[in-house]
Amino acid sequence: MTRLLIVGPQGSGKGTQGVRIAETFGIPAVSTGDVFRGAVAAGTPLGEQVKAIIEAGDLVPDELTSAVVRERLSQPDAASGFLLDGYPRNVAQVMHLDEFLEGRGEAIDSVIELEVPRDESIARLSRRAAEQGRSDDTEEGIANRLAIYERETAPILDIYRARDVVERIDGVGSLDEITGRIVAALEARGLGRGAAA
């Protein structure tokens, strides 16, 4: 059982590293951003509800987001653990997740904090905007998401730091180097590949 969060500013590479770490540890990577974008693309009722919010770079309401996460974590493949990317994103969502996990007698084993200097993350986001044309990667969308990160998401790290589960990882380097740093930090905690369930 490995229950992980990956937290970092937009452009920190947390989506890419999240997928790599989840594969290494044999657990599903759950990205709330991907879930919402998928719903928008598929035109589901959830997608209709969140489309304008996502495009503005604002947060989807906490109750809705937490309900989506609970539903996803209740699926059988998440019984052996999971990695959450993009959730929780504020203190209210931390409380929702705590309540859900406590109800199952579970807790987060580790929080990966990916550290990337602001200039670097902005440069990566502009590159992604040019390459992928994501609808929220406009100048305003990016600025809004970074501001929300500083104001609402960075503070959740203090909560997890008080629980002594945060691993701060240098997010500058090659993809393989960064993955290696994360795996080493988690293994030093007795988590992952070799660890017993």
Q: Catalytic positions, please?
A: 14, 89, 128, 134, 145
14 with 6: CB under 8 angstroms? yes
Considering only 17-25, 74-82, 85-93, 109-117, which stretch makes contact with ligand ADP by CB under 6 A? 85-93
Considering only 84-92, 105-113, 160-168, 179-187, which stretch makes contact with ligand ADP by CB under 6 A? 84-92
- Cβ neighbors of 87 (< 8 A, separation 6 or more) are 5, 30, 32, 65, 69, 93, 97
* Sequential DSSP letters for 111-147: EEEEE--HHHHHHHHHHHHHHH--TT-SHHHHHHHHH
Q: Which residue, 39 or 182, has its beta carbon nearer to ligand ADP?
A: 39
Measured over the CA atoms of residue 94, residue 29, residue 47 and residue 128, the dihedral's sign is positive
Dmax (CA) of the chain: 46
Size of the site for ligand ADP (CB under 6 A): 17
**CB of residue 185 vs ligand ADP: minimum separation in angstroms?**
21
What mask, x for binding ligand ADP by CB under 6 A, covers residues 102 to 141?
A: ----------------------------------x-----
Among 2, 10, 17, 121, binds ligand ADP (CB under 6 A): 10
Among 89, 121, 160, 192, binds ligand ADP (CB under 6 A): 89
Among 60, 111, 165, 169, binds ligand ADP (CB under 6 A): 60
Strand partners, 110: 4
